[in-house]
Amino acid sequence: MKKLNIAILTGGNVAERGVSLRSAKTIEKYLNDDKYNNYVIELNGKQFVEQKTRTTVDLNDFSLSIGQRKITFDLVFLMLHGHPAESGSILGYFELLDIPCTGCDHFVGALTFNKQLTKDFLRPYNIPMVESRLLRKGQPIDTKDIATMNFPLFVKPNKNGSSYGVTKVNTSAEIIPAVEKSFQFDDEVIVEQFMAGQEFSNGVYRKGNEVVVLPITEIRTKNEFFDYKAKYENQSEEITPAEITPELTAQCKGLTKKIYELLNCKGICRVDYILINGIFHLLEINTIPGMTEQSFIPQQVAAMGEDLSEFLDVVVAEAMGSRQF
């Protein structure tokens, strides 16, 4: 079998750039060199640049010309967090070029990147969620209406991740400064009721025709909430598999599978929850979850007893579909 040329897409011009670069290093490390020729392609500004040679990608066909060789790609492994990959935008480009990508299609990417629209889509299916409000930049902010949700509240960008721009507010006076902070990262802001409970994260992926739910991770943060430092600077304790009852484990995994299937997701996804009074409440779904060494998905794959390289083989095979490789 010929080796596949895989472009590991990373970088970007968003707040999550650093996480994306670290995630790509993990993918490069664990994608089997005997099966794949791996090229880390970094988005810088409007250019895609191959990291080792600093060669710029030809966007007419997403190819590289290195010396006398023209390299085309059999697959794009998306490790580009935030916009334009997680938002679905770039997926349309690769669909036009007929280059397979890991993960969801452009519509599902766009939907799930928008936290409020995802909640609106899932609400008829009885997915437990808390009340929220959507604010748009340039429009009036009704602090009295927001306050009816009762404090404390979380204010965060509607279309962003990695806990950038997130603030916990306890009074009406804190709403406007928190919203302005979130508007630094997005033109839409979501304000949600604070969920007092244990936080959990659950990965899921497709293996052939089967939806496989990974072991659950419980997050015990040392901070007031699970912010950027808790996620990426070891200021939290993460227990995988979570130390919860079989009944709660079944509830969480069942909900993860239901959400994944309702949204018609593909590839690796991660669903985050807060457990309140014995009920898992949806926080958000991540269609391109972090894959750094300390990220949840590698932890959960290890807890399942799987080798990360073999796990990535399954992800690649699903993305390639019926194509021969």
Boundary residue ending a domain (193, 212, 239): 193
Say which residues have a Cβ less than 8 Å from residue 106's Cβ, sequence separation at least 6. 88, 89, 91, 92, 95
The H-assigned helical ranges of 139-245 are: 143-147, 175-182, 228-232
Q: How far apart are CA 41 and CA 58, in angstroms?
A: 12
Q: Are residues 305 and 236 in the same domain?
A: yes
Residue 20 pLDDT exceeds 90: yes
Tell me, yes or no, whether 274 lies in a domain: yes
Distance of CA 141 to the CA centre of its chain: 29
- The Cα diameter of the chain in Å comes to 65
Domain total for the chain? 3
Tell me, yes or no, whether 204 lies in a domain: yes
Q: Are residues 219 and 187 in the same domain?
A: no
Q: Give residue-wise pLDDT tens across range 235-248.
A: 679 999 999 999 99
Contact present, 201 and 271 (Cβ < 8 Å): yes
Across 50-54, 148-152, 306-310, least confident range: 148-152
Q: Give residue-wise pLDDT tens across range 155-211.
A: 999 987 546 789 999 999 999 999 999 999 889 999 999 888 999 999 999 999 999
Tell me, yes or no, whether 153 lies in a domain: yes
Q: Are residues 181 and 165 in the same domain?
A: yes
Q: Domain of 283: which CATH number?
A: 3.30.470.20
Q: Are residues 77 and 140 in the same domain?
A: no
Q: Domain of 167: which CATH number?
A: 3.30.1490.20
Mean pLDDT throughout 45-63? 96
Tell me, yes or no, whether 282 lies in a domain: yes
Q: Are residues 123 and 256 in the same domain?
A: yes
Question: Domain of 139?
Answer: 132-193
